[in-house]
Amino acid sequence: MYKEDFLIWSAVMVGWFILTIIFYQVLFANVSEVAGWTKAELLILQGYYFVFDFILWGVLWPNMKQLPIKINKGELDYDLIRPISAQFMLSFRELDLDNANEVILGVATIIYGLRLGQIHPGVVETLLAIMTVVAAIVFIYAFYFISICIAFWFDRIENLHYFFPSFRHLWKQPQSFYSGWLRWILTIIVPITLVTTLPTEWLLMRLPWKETIFLIVFSLVALWFSRWFFKVALRRYSSASS
């Protein structure tokens, strides 16, 4: 990471923070709630969105964009023969810290929302919020990795690494913003709306026990499935030397 890139991203993050505050100020100029959520509560959720955005672009994306290239060129041999998990190495080899300030921005937005709403979660609620963040990260990783493994079947799929990130805006809004069949799909089939909603609800002391247990179990199953799917996909792999 270059100093200039860090400074540019720092300025961008400060700009995003200011724009976020202005946006919610305008949105709530004449109303006190939107779909049952106050300005302070939505700011907390927005803070989590910033944190997950860094996880997606700073931690996962640098590695996911390389995997289809390695698959198409038959360059996975070295990773497959190493004594540690090939999936782990392929998923977490690189780290892009250019937008690491997004984590600071996210935490600052969460703290601002808590103070604005005079919300004081306890230690238990805070720890459970952190637990749901971890579960959400596992969910995001598993589905992102599964989507990338499609490259084993289809050669030269351009921009495959952008497919899953294109859905990130779905967790920018709380679960209650969706209704009908769409809410059911985004909560049960692919619980993408729970990513930011659950940690926010724990800080708001709403005690979403059932949803939390569901997300944890779903994330662990998705992680297991990603490992199984990767092993199946490897049967399609052809080395450059073969």
Write the DSSP assignment of 115-182 as a string of letters.
HHTT----HHHHHHHHHHHHHHHHHHHHHHHHHHGGGGTSTT-TTGGGTGGGGGGGGGS-GGG--HHH
pLDDT for residue 241 is more than 70: no
pLDDT of amino acid 242: 55
Mean pLDDT of the region 17-23? 85
- Report d(CA 180, CA 31) in Å as an integer: 25
Q: How confident is the model at residue 1 (pLDDT cuts 50, 70, 90)?
A: low
Do 20 and 46 form a contact (C-beta atoms < 8 A)? yes
pLDDT for residue 239 is more than 90: no
| Residues ≥6 apart with Cβ < 8 Å to 82 | 89
The amino acid at residue 121 is: P
- Based on its alpha-carbon atoms, the radius of gyration of the chain, rounded to whole angstroms, reads 20
pLDDT of amino acid 78: 84
- Note the pLDDT tens digit of each residue in 141-198: 999 999 999 999 987 777 889 999 999 999 999 999 999 999 999 999 999 999 999 9
Query: Measuring CA to CA, which residue among 187, 80, 87 is closest to residue 145?
Result: 87
Least trusted range by pLDDT, from 20-29, 34-43, 143-152: 20-29
pLDDT of amino acid 2: 61
The structural domains of the chain, with segments of one domain joined by +, span 3-234
Mean pLDDT of the region 218-239? 93
Structure tokens at 107: 């935490």
- Note the pLDDT tens digit of each residue in 119-149: 999 999 999 999 999 999 999 999 999 999 9
- Report d(CA 86, CA 17) in Å as an integer: 38
- Note the pLDDT tens digit of each residue in 82-109: 888 999 999 999 998 888 888 998 999 9
Backbone angles phi, psi at 95, to 5 degrees: -140, 125
pTM (two decimals) = 0.91
- Report d(CA 217, CA 122) in Å as an integer: 24
pLDDT of amino acid 30: 85
Backbone angles phi, psi at 34, to 5 degrees: -130, 115
Q: What is the mean pLDDT of the chain?
A: 91
